Amino acid sequence: MRSPPFPPGTPELLQKFGGQPNRLIELIQSGIGGQPNGAYLHWDELRHRPAPPGFRHEEWWLATRLARQPMARPLLLLRDKAGRSFSYCAPDSVQSLLHEVDRNAAGDIQIPELVTTPQNRDRYIVRSLMEEAITSSQLEGAATTHKVAKDMLQRGRKPRDRGEQMIMNNYAAMQFIRDHYRQALTPGIILELQRILTTETLDDASAAGCWRRPDEDITVADIRSNETLHIPPAAEEIPARMELLCRFANDRSDEPFVHPVVRAILLHFMLGYDHPFADGNGRTARALFYWCMAQRGYWLLELVSISSVIRRAPAQYVRAYLYTETDDNDTTYFLLHQLNALKQAIAELHEYLRRKVEEQRHAQQLIEHSPALRERLNHRQLALIDHAIRNPQSVYRIDRHQSSHHVTYQTARTDLLALVDLGLLAKSKAGRAFIFTAPEDLRARLEAIKSGGPVTAAGRLR
């Protein structure tokens, strides 16, 4: 990726048109807003699009910049390495996206019962933590496949290489956030997050949980062309900059008001900009986003993996940083990128939950309307399978089944072992006792029985 060109400076353009006051008035009164055709364009994009009739591209850019200036909100605690404040605008596109996130990710939102029961919610949180751990690590170069990584996390298997260790670390970091997000953010917590994320993955193990040193020459470069894309602030400035970042993260005042989602995204942006570590900056930045969102009450974000969306178009993620840095510290580009990623991730979650609700409903109807199942299963077994459909990954024991239905131990044992023989439960040992769990493809297995026989894995008839 190449670094985008710096736009023509507003003062220089104003000076250029200083001798043409009538033309300048025309530009100001042109009605061109800060979002030409509804898009918040950087100069790098605008210069390649057809200019409005009667305008040259530099004139079009000047009119756009003049329209944005009254909307710009300075961020006094967030400054670049030259000491200039970052800023952001809140045009209609930003306001609309923030409204969608507020409506769909916080407060008393409409969400299926599938998620509101504690057991199910925990299950989907674990699913999301795994997804974010895997994709955030893959963004930073972990080559482990999704299937292998998920198997490692589910089984608790020890990582076999650096890529797997990155994923395991990311999973631990997300769990750390769940346990500690109610605390005020401190530089110490940022250090601890990075330590968790980089443990046993660094060539220099002493860099885990430490700010980068002055002798560490850190630049962000394009992996193919080796072009330098970003030079972060000097290492000597990092402790003070992290103190300011924590002040910004913890600020609850409304003067000036910064929307909580905007604050979380800017926290993500600034950690990436400051690059305070020798390694793990991107993963730590995304972890801080989750920290801030959880702290501000956006509970549905526990179920969403934003890295899974970013990973599909990583160049757009990098470009959003570069557009900000080359256009007078305007972070609106990064805000829009992240808000759109959030919108997509939330929509995908709702679609996933819709499918799961439909699967559960269909499986319950199978039990209610299937003579084949009712012939093979007694009322106790039907009740257990119905519970397993509504509460995936529940664990069943003979003694609990016995007490629930007031039957003998032998009857309870026979019930569960018969379900194992039918392929509707899996049997394993926990200590000296047997435990029973429903397979993930329970619905397919019920369908197979309905069609006429016992099943093997994946619902195939034996």
What is the per-residue pLDDT for 461? 36
C-beta neighbour count of 149 within 10 angstroms: 26
pLDDT at 82 over 90: yes
Task: Give the number of C-alpha atoms closer than 13 A to the C-alpha of residue 294, restricted to the C-beta side.
Answer: 22
Q: pLDDT tens digits, residue range 140-152?
A: 777 778 888 887 8
pLDDT of residue 354: 79
Q: How confident is the model at residue 121 (pLDDT cuts 50, 70, 90)?
A: low
- Cα dihedral value 252, 258, 260, 264, nearest 10: -100
Cα angle 25, 26, 30 (rounded to 5 degrees) comes to 120
Q: Per-residue pLDDT tens for 383-414?
A: 888 888 878 778 899 998 887 788 899 999 99
- pLDDT value at 457 more than 50: no
Give how far the C-alpha of residue 131 lies from the chain's centroid of Cα atoms, to the nearest Å.
Answer: 9
Cα-Cα-Cα-Cα dihedral of 333, 302, 140, 324, to 10°? Answer: 10
Q: Where do the domains of the chain lie, and which CATH numbers do they carry?
A: 10-71 (no CATH), 75-353 (1.10.3290.10), 371-459 (1.10.10.10)
Residues 27-72 pLDDT 10s: 777 778 888 878 999 999 999 999 988 889 999 999 999 999 999 9
* Stretch 305-310: mean pLDDT: 85
Contact between residue 89 and residue 41 where contact means Cβ atoms under 8 Å apart: no
The mean pLDDT value for 126-148 works out to: 78
Q: Which of 90, 88, 35 is nearest to 329 (CA)?
A: 88
DSSP 92-155: HHHHHHHHHHHHHHSSS----HHHHSHHHHHHHHHHHHHHHHHHHHHHTT----HHHHHHHHHH
- The CA distance from 361 to 336, in Å, is 37
Q: What's the CA gap between 319 and 323, in Å, rounded?
A: 6
Q: How are beta strands 85-88 and 73-79 bridged, if at all?
A: antiparallel
pLDDT of 280 = 92
pTM summary value: 0.80
pLDDT tens digits, one per residue of 366-384: 777 778 777 888 888 888 8
Kindly tell me if the per-residue pLDDT of 277 is higher than 60.
yes
- Interval 210-239 mean pLDDT: 90
Q: Centre a 10 Å sphere on the Cβ of residue 111 and count the other Cβ atoms it contains.
A: 17
Which of the pair, 162 or 26, is modelled with greater confidence?
162
DSSP string spanning 426-438?
EEEEETTEEEEE-
Lowest mean pLDDT, pick from 215-219, 396-400, 417-421: 215-219
